[in-house]
Structure 1
Amino acid sequence: MSQPYDLAIRASSVFTEGRWRPATIAVRDGVVAAIADDDEEVPAHAVVTLPEGQVLVPGIVDSHVHVNEPGRTEWEGFTTATRAAAAGGVTTIVDMPLNSIPPTTTVAALELKRAAAGPQASVDVGFWGGAIPSSLGSLEPLRAAGVFGFKAFLSPSGVDEFPHLSTAQLRSALSEVAGFGGLLIVHAEDPSVLDRSGNDGGADYRAFVASRPELAEEDAIAHVIEGVRATGARAHILHLSSARALDAIRAAKAEGLPITVETCPHYLSFSAEHIPDGATQFKCCPPIRDEANRDLLWEALLDGTIDLIASDHSPSTAELKFAGDGDFQEAWGGISGLQVSFPAVWTAARERGIPLDRVLGWMAVNTAALLGLGETKGSIAVGADADLVAFSPEEAFAVHASALEHKNAVSAYDGRTLRGVVHTTWLAGEVVHVLDDTEERMPRGRLLERRSTL
């Protein structure tokens, strides 16, 4: 008789191999070792049977998270960010190269990030590098050190230590990453459009949206498409908010250009018509637009024009988020939503009759694929990491910002009722979160590197 497995999880509904089925997931040495029928006897040192109403799904892979440590840890650090992730069913995050100090634009800065994250991480953590004017021409050493790709801004980032690229520098960055088969991920807003659209700020949300018009995204994305066509580089458009850019993206994909696109939970959950004046907890760049635009983003997800959904968790202190007493020009931009991103998207999808498996495709399968982690992350399959979530899709809960694991009690989702409760999260077969459990758990997260074959 073979040795017992470390863990067996039995559920009446498991999402595996692209379908739902009753199954028992057997785990050994942190990976899924076998998938058996739910009524099959599976010897294991620990056996868990999910109660009625809970389903077993793969851990969410969030490819867009700002942790801010070191340097701005008062905004968010690895302890709080990764605990929030685990509580939200997110088992892998990839940290953006800003707003930490120093930004992750050198190998030395990456090592500082890794040293900070390693002892604190409750989930697995990878890192993006940064493409800024001073790092162009020297990106390959960072790639060799394990970053998953390089982030560039085409408009001011909001922090002086991470300047944006001009259109000519964007072309240079794309040529450079094409030379070694890398990936450039792009905050696509055109600064000349933003300059022409600037206003005096204030509490009027509509005035804020007008200051960051859809044309800014359209023009910047056109520059990316032109650069990809010229260089053959892989590019990924971050946090798409404007549906007006979708036709150009569809055409680029139809042409066969290697471009992928993400949008975010807040663009799918909120609309400009329902954001009160002065409610700067909703400020982000590019901004949350109107309901008709939101509908078109959902359509683009369903037809594959938009590939994935990532949180763009971008927290700050309450003092910064509410700076200017409701003035959208003064307040820090960014939505703090890591812990609630999965339930938020599921809630909005459910209201539209979109099944949970599509949400898992956008937030687990496709995010893992973007990172080259599709063999180990984002699915429940033999040989994959045993990153698993017991999820109750029909159970509702009210979001209270003060109860979230995020470092600062500021959230656009505060007071909102969502569907989908994360009851238990396993990372490599070890429990890293249990709902309403106060047990202090050892950080079990691993530091991830880009696979050398990518």
Structure 2
Amino acid sequence: MMTDPYDISAPVIYDLVLRSRRTVLPDGERPAAVAIAGERIAVIGDYDEPIPAHRTEDLRDLALLPGLVDTHVHVNEPGRTEWEGFATATRAAAAGGVTTIIDMPLNSLPPTVDTAALAAKRAAARGKTWVDTGFWGGAIPGNDTELKGLHDAGVFGFKCFTAPSGVDEFPPLDTAGLHRACTTVAALDALLLVHAEDPAHLHDADSAPDFDRFLATRPPEAETSAVREIIAAARATGARVHLLHLAAAEALADLDAARRDGVRITVETCPHYLHLAAERIPDGATAFKCCPPIRGEANREALWDGLAEGRIDIVVSDHSPSPPGLKTGDFATSWGGIASLQLGLPVMWTEARRRGLALSDLARWMSTGPADLVGLDRKGRIATGADADLVAFDPEREWTVRAEDLLHRHPVTPYDRETLTGRVATTWLRGTPVDTDAAPRGRQLRRSPR
């Protein structure tokens, strides 16, 4: 029988109710039922509470987490789609519990450094994304006048480098250029992302077949020196700055002091810096190469301390894949990027659980925190009114990674054949399970005015 739409006493029947004894809510983990109406979370009730719905699914001891928000993904399309593309990257994201990505302005051709390039990026992504997708702009020498147009067109902020990026079409900013970019970004009240390595402390190597030789070319001083320069620019201009992929824990002391002084700076790190260690990287294993590099065991533990203490804000993938041919056996000449978009959640849980940390910590670092960074108030949280981006996660499941089974474009990852704990069972995007064999439902996102 049809419900009379004008009868206010008629019970509401929700589209879907998901129950889990391990629901990860903003105030912690507890048994709960999450009712979904359309694309949003409508009600959060007790686990056993009767809630009328067209469909109910009881996850029992599977955890229910907010969808991950990954604000550091290199999709590379258009122009280098043979490296990765929107279809492959977002299918891998969904399989890993990531429901929102923000795409970096390089290594696509053209890079997203003006509105025409942004239009080309959006056209390339149209109809190909299995998760919701937004875009960063780029700040490079000579494009200061382009930043306002990109900002008005809805990019989530701007990325720059202080050292060579690895691709000629996206050159770094020198000290004066960094200050100019900060001044422009401050006037827009936008966000500037910075790859922080000081070229004065980087060393060339003709060949580096062993990881130790490569590691010596990019010492911690390259990061700490660049971080001090970035803090000085942010302090002088009032810009809001975000430090990308922190690898050197030594930089945390300067960041702590700057934030105590009111400098608007946040910082991220990545699963590979929190799980891998230089001492365990085989010679010639260039799937492990990234910049800044993976450092030693003691540094990794110091990063974990910083994360647990709230001194590091978020954890994102820095998924930067390439074809196998660019990952030769020489660390000096191979492409520097880790392919890991599908694996961030189990990698982080494998490490977090052995340290006595909780799934709610992962949700704060990998869902809510990144969403808040870019102003996506309806993403990254299980809360009334939020988008119903959700993940059913088995926290007890042990499994072995097989690179050839991953959904990003090429079977290259440093996690190949590694046993991890925790596996994604289902990902819901705005209330509907993601089916990577069906048509993609991802939307393109634009920055909302703050």
Provide TM-score, normalisation by structure 1.
0.96
Amino acid at match of 1:403: D
Aligned to 1:357: 360
Preserved contact between residue 62 and residue 395 of structure 2 (Cα < 8 Å)? yes
- Equivalent-residue separation in structure 2 for 1:204 and 1:414 (angstroms): 19
Taking the aligned partners of 2:249 and 2:19, their CA distance within structure 1 comes to 42
Q: Confirm or deny: 8 A CA contact 1:118 1:445 kept in the other structure.
A: no
**What's the counterpart of residue 4 of structure 1?**
13
Query: 2: CA distance between counterparts of 1:93 and 1:17?
Result: 21
2:418: which partner in 1? 416
| Alignment partner, residue 436 of structure 1 | none
How far apart are 1:2 and its partner, in Å? 3.1
SS in 1 for 2:145: coil
| Poorly superposed stretches of 4+, deviation over 3 Å | none
Output the amino acid matched with 1:92.
T
Q: Aligned residue for 1:267?
A: 273
State the match for 1:108 in structure 2.
Answer: 116
CA drift at 1:137:
2.7
Write the distance in 1 (CA, Å) between the matches of 2:120 and 2:12: 41
**Number of the residue aligned with 1:132:** 140
1:241 and 2:244 correspond: no
User: Structure 2 residue aligned with 1:144, among 136, 146, 152?
Assistant: 152
- Counterpart in 2 of 1:372? 375
Deviation at 1:148, TM superposition (A): 0.4
Q: Please give the residue correspondences for 1:6-155 in structure 2 after superposition, counting only pairs within 5 Å.
A: 6-51=15-60, 53-155=61-163
Alpha-carbon distance between aligned partners in 2 of 1:450 and 1:398, rounded to the nearest angstrom: 38
TM-score relative to the length of structure 2: 0.96
| Whole-angstrom distance in 2 between the partners of 1:149 and 1:5 | 37
SS at match of 1:116: helix
Residue number in structure 1 paired with 2:324: 318
Is the aligned partner of 1:252 residue 2:258?
yes
Q: Report SS of the residue matched to 2:381.
A: coil
Residue 138 of structure 1: how far off its partner (Å):
2.4
> Which residue of structure 1 lines up, in the alignment, with residue 386 of structure 2?
384
- The match for 2:351 is 348
SS in 2 for 1:46: strand
Counterpart Cα distance in 1 of 2:330 and 2:449: 46
Specify the code of the residue in structure 2 equivalent to 1:117.
A
Q: RMSD across aligned C-alpha pairs, in angstroms?
A: 1.0
Whole-angstrom CA distance in 1 between matches of 2:23 and 2:352: 19
* Offset, 1:256: 1.4
User: Residue 270 of structure 2 aligns to which amino acid in structure 1?
Assistant: C
Residues of 2 paired with 1:24 and 1:316: CA distance? 41
Residue 306 of structure 2: which of 300, 316, 321 is its match? 300
CA contact (8 A) 1:205 1:275 kept: yes
Distance 1:157 1:224 in 2: 17
C-alpha offsets along residues 203-259 of structure 1, whole Å, 9 cap, x if unaligned?
111010000011110111111000011000000000000011111011111111100
Q: How many residues align?
A: 441
Unaligned stretches of 5+ in structure 1?
434-438
Q: Which amino acid aligns with 2:13?
A: P
Secondary structure of 1:11's counterpart equals strand
SS at match of 2:256: helix
- Residue number among 198, 217, 221 corresponding to 1:211 in the alignment: 217
Q: Check conservation: 2:140, 2:173, Cα contact below 8 A.
A: yes
Shift of residue 98, structure 1, vs aligned partner: 0.2
User: 1:38 is matched by which residue type in structure 2?
Assistant: Y
Shift of 1:377: 0.8
Which whole-Å CA distance do the structure 1 matches of 2:22 and 2:282 have between them? 40
The partner residue of 1:405 within 390, 404, 407 is: 407
- Between the aligned partners of 2:294 and 2:26, the Cα distance in structure 1 is 35
Superimposed CA distance per residue, residues 258-313 of structure 1 (whole angstroms, 9 cap, x where no aligned partner): 00000000000100000011110000000000000001000111111111101000
Q: 2:445 aligns with which of 428, 444, 448?
A: 448
1:45 shift after superposition: 1.7
CA distance in structure 2 between the aligned counterparts of 1:116 and 1:29, rounded to whole angstroms: 28
Q: Distance in 2 between matches of 1:415 and 1:11?
A: 31
**Displacement after TM superposition at 1:17 (Å):** 3.0
Question: CA offsets, 1:32-72, max 9 Å, x none?
Answer: 01112121222222211114x30111000001000000000
Give the match for residue 192 of structure 1: 200
Q: Which amino acid aligns with 1:362?
A: W
Distance in structure 1 (CA, Å) of the matches to 2:179 and 2:187: 12
**C-alpha distance after superposition, 1:309-346 (max 9, x if no partner):** 01000000001122xxx111111110000000111011
Q: Is the CA contact 2:67–2:367 (under 8 Å) kept in the aligned structure 1?
A: yes
What amino acid maps onto 1:321 in structure 2?
Answer: K
**C-alpha displacement at 1:387, in angstroms?**
0.2
Q: CA deviation at 1:184?
A: 0.3
Q: Is 1:338 aligned to residue 322 of structure 2?
A: no
Contact (CA 8 Å) 1:125, 1:445: kept in 2 or not?
Answer: yes
Q: Match for 2:192: what amino acid? A: L
Contact 1:80 1:406 in 2 (8 A): yes
Give the secondary-structure state (helix, strand or coil) at the position aligned to 1:365: helix
